[in-house]
Amino acid sequence: MPGQRVSGGLSGVCNSVSLHNELVRERPDLAAELYKPQPYDLRGEQAEGRKAWYEVPVFTEHGGRLFTRLIGAYIHASQRHVDAPRLTPKAIEALAWMRQRSDSGAWNVTMAFQPGDMQFVNNYHVLHGRTAYVDDRAAGKVRHLKRLWLETDALPDRPDYFRNNVSSHWSAKKTLSRLDAVN
């Protein structure tokens, strides 16, 4: 039955604002580095003829609010592109600090999803991820997770790179949501 994993796959959420504030108090030099643009790998999903990476700061203050974009794996993966900016030693240290602290239990919680559960996350203020998981396809225990990005008018004032670009190549991508697609 879809949604039934054998092990792992716990969902984790972390308060990025509290984590940011701790970083500023403890290591302002590392916080300053994460306010600079960092390269992110597009994982082969860039528009045709476009570069395979983009730059966005991990932390941005805008309109009196903190916005966070941190996908460490995408930042590290950007380094496979020879034309992507190289991560500085400070950026590498800052990313390691963020990873260690976000997994520490001080600012995060983990939960096991059950079939039918839904989780809504504000990507501007919450870091989220999951632990590794194991499926047993032969026994029909296969994790099935769908993601949906929702746009809201509740926060119209945000940095440009936090706005959806409906005229991008993504608007031409249509996907099908079928349970039989997991087999």
Whether residue 99 contacts residue 3, with contact meaning beta carbons closer than 8 Å, is answered with no
Whether residue 13 contacts residue 131, with contact meaning beta carbons closer than 8 Å, is answered with no
Whether residue 124 contacts residue 162, with contact meaning beta carbons closer than 8 Å, is answered with yes
For the residues 3-16, what does the mean pLDDT come to?
Answer: 80
Buried b (16+ CB within 10 A) or exposed e, 20-42: bebbeeeeeebbebbeeebbbbb
For the residues 145-172, what does the mean pLDDT come to?
Answer: 68
**CA distance between the termini of the chain:** 11
For the residues 129-151, what does the mean pLDDT come to?
Answer: 79
For the residues 150-174, what does the mean pLDDT come to?
Answer: 66
Per-residue pLDDT of 15-65, as tens digits, reads 999 999 999 999 999 999 999 999 999 988 888 889 999 999 999 999 999
Whether residue 124 contacts residue 155, with contact meaning beta carbons closer than 8 Å, is answered with yes
Contacts of 117 (CB under 8 A, 6+ apart): none
Q: How many CB atoms lie within 10 A of CB 15?
A: 18
Q: How far apart are CA 58 and CA 54, in angstroms?
A: 12
Q: How far apart are CA 139 and CA 146, in angstroms?
A: 21
Q: Which DSSP string do the residues of 67-132 spell out, in sequence order?
A: EE---HHHHHHGGGSTTSPPPPHHHHHHHHHHHHHHTSSSSEEEE---TT------TTTEEEEE--
pLDDT: which is higher, 130 or 41: 41
**Confidence band for 82, pLDDT divided at 50, 70 and 90:** very high
Per-residue pLDDT of 97-129, as tens digits, reads 999 999 888 888 888 888 788 888 888 889 988
What single-letter amino acid sits at 18? S
